[in-house]
Amino acid sequence: MNLDLLFYAAAIPAVILVGLSKGGLGGAFALIGVPLLAMVVPPMQAAAIFLPILLVMDAVALWAWRRHNNRPTLLAMLPGGLLGIAIGWATSAYVSVNVMRLLLGGISVLFATRYFIEAARSSRKAAPLAAPERPVAATLWGTLSGYASFVAHAGGPPFQIYTLPLRLDPLSYTGTSTRFFAIMNAVKVIPYFALGELGSDNLLLSATLLPVALVSTLIGARLVHHLRPALFYPLMYAMVLIAGSKLLYDGITGLG
């Protein structure tokens, strides 16, 4: 394809949005980034261009959040996440991505809406109690996250539906999320190569966008370091609501 201004006019804002998300500002920006790039290149090419960029962003985010992690949560969700990628690979030719977007979008919107309704009704100023770790739920939402990450780069909302009620410290939450999706993206390289999505042309385009990816990821990490829990959690739930709405919109328009 021609490396014209139209491509970079879409690609640079898309990479900035995903970089802010990777830095720790929630998954909604990432959901906007890939469709934005898909306005100027085919959707599968947009996903393929983004995967190497995501790997570099993951490396930067892992360094930025190297001291923060909730090991039990990460270990609880990883098996399901890997299973979800395997299911996505095995069923990639048969499953409707738009139906999956509708399902995840509806669940995410209901989840976030319930939080804001309960927050508005509550007269107490104390933060809600943290939910306990639940291995079965972790496996379920981890599987949905891995599957959605593989087929639609939409693994954030299922991950957040399980982890946000745990009320982890914001830094610990972000570090755990960073590790989970870094592993998911690294594993996705194998099936993406097998499906022929990572050709030299796409890799070259990815390389030209790496400086933007590095800077935007570091900015996102810096912003999260300054967010108090009282602001962090409403922001994360708002991101889930935005992401869910975007998934619903994409699913409806895709089926229509």
Question: What pTM does this model have?
Answer: 0.82
Averaged over successive runs of 10 residues, the pLDDT of the chain (256 residues) comes to: 76 88 72 76 79 91 92 97 94 78 84 83 62 90 92 83 90 93 94 84 91 92 79 81 85 84
Distance CA 33, CA 43 (A): 12
| CA nearest neighbour of 77 among 5, 142, 8, 152 | 142
pLDDT for residue 127 = 57
pLDDT for residue 154 = 78
